[in-house]
Amino acid sequence: MRRRRFLSGALSAGTAGVGAAALAGSFPKPSLAQDRIEWRMVTAWPKGLPGLGSSAERLAERIGRLSAGRLTIKVFAGGELISPLQGFAAVSQGMAEMAHDFSLYHIGEMPAAAFFSAVPFGLTPSEFNGWMNFAGGQELWDELYDPAGIKPFLAGNTGVQMGGWFLKEINSTEDLKGRRISIPGYGGEALKKLGAEIVTLSSGELFGSLQEGSIDGAEWIGPYNDLSLGLYKITKLYYWPGFQEPGTGLECMVDKGKFSALPDDLQQIVAAACMAENDLTAAEYSGRSPGALATLVNEYGVELKKFSRDVLVAFGNASSEVIAQVLEDGDDITKRIVGSYLRHRKTALPWSRVSERGFLAARDLGFDFPDGSTS
């Protein structure tokens, strides 16, 4: 009963015309033979997408290997069994045992969900991991998803993202008015306050929509994924910094009932595999993005454009208004999540200024190191 109440209308956004019965009928049944369990993982990613798609595949493979084949995960790309943005509904309604996506995709049903993925001008990856693991974030996330019968795990981080691709320059906030931009979460809500028209598209829809001009701009992730999507073929204007997602967490959602029914060692394997993937995905983006950025600029003529200070200040003010409204309108769990997140942000800022930002400023003084080449 709690699940049905919680998910009333959950399939309406992004899966128009697809009823629960039709959705259920499209899913193969999980198999259980000789104490071997096969689960299905639906994802939001196109098949073969580097970074996000490979992260889901890696996670599934790790669980299978660690369990010696006792628990195997079959991964489905976005659109194969369900709309890319409907993983939450699929797991909650028992149509898949796992899903892999960004929690900010679910703010229509749960406004606080975005705080477990990314918030404009919010926590960096290291600050975010600190909140989740040592300042109560995970416990609040568990509580938020519990009515839907879902156990959430962090399973990756894409790091600080880019500001996006635009068909025309953004020199002031006036240039945003009336423009149709694909950007999810509260970053999109902030741009809406500045006059933009916001849509949320899956990664597989961005290229065609930008190419045909049905959108004027698109934020995706950063050089590593943006290169693979080929957005540079349409426009060369690539903006930074990405105010909207300073350290975006990936989630692995697991059917809580199925998870609780696993033997303890398999539960520990799922949790450990997600924790390992959280670290490895962050390393992948850190390792692959520099080369991808160089390729975009040096081989494809992409022009890096920095948002002006005035535009960033406007982004910040609009974001503050959005978060204040979420806090004001939120129910008890939403208020507690937002409050916890903002308290950790306030606590983390002084340390981040003297540690990471302080070091980066010192390194930018330009000390002459060898270039790493060998004879």
Domains along the chain with CATH numbers: 2-160+246-288 (3.40.190.170)
pLDDT given for residue 18 in this prediction: 36
Compute how many other C-beta atoms are within 10 angstroms of the C-beta atom of residue 344: 21
What pLDDT does 369 receive? 84
The CA distance from 341 to 121, in Å, is 12
How confident is the model over 354-361, as a mean pLDDT? Answer: 94
Q: Which of 47-56, 318-327, 346-355, 360-369 is predicted least confidently?
A: 360-369
Q: How far apart are the first and last CA of the chain?
A: 70
**Mean pLDDT taken over the chain:** 90
pLDDT at position 375 is 54
What is the pLDDT averaged over residues 297-307? 98
Q: Which helix (H) or strand (E) holds 347?
A: helix 332-352
Strands (DSSP E) found in the chain: 32-33, 36-43, 71-76, 98-102, 150-157, 164-166, 180-182, 197-199, 217-218, 237-240, 249-255, 303-306
285 close to 159: Cβ distance less than 8 angstroms? yes
Using one digit for the tens of pLDDT, what is the confidence trace for 143-175?
999 999 999 999 999 999 999 999 999 999 999
Over range 261-273, report the average pLDDT. Answer: 98
pLDDT of residue 367: 80
Q: Cβ(16)–Cβ(72) under 8 Å?
A: no
* pLDDT exceeds cutoff 50 at 19: no
Of residues 14 and 156, which shows the higher confidence score? 156
Asked whether the CA dihedral 59, 64, 67, 72 is positive or negative, the reply is positive
pLDDT at 91 over 80: yes
pTM: 0.88
- Mean local confidence (pLDDT), 258-272: 98
330-344 average pLDDT score: 98
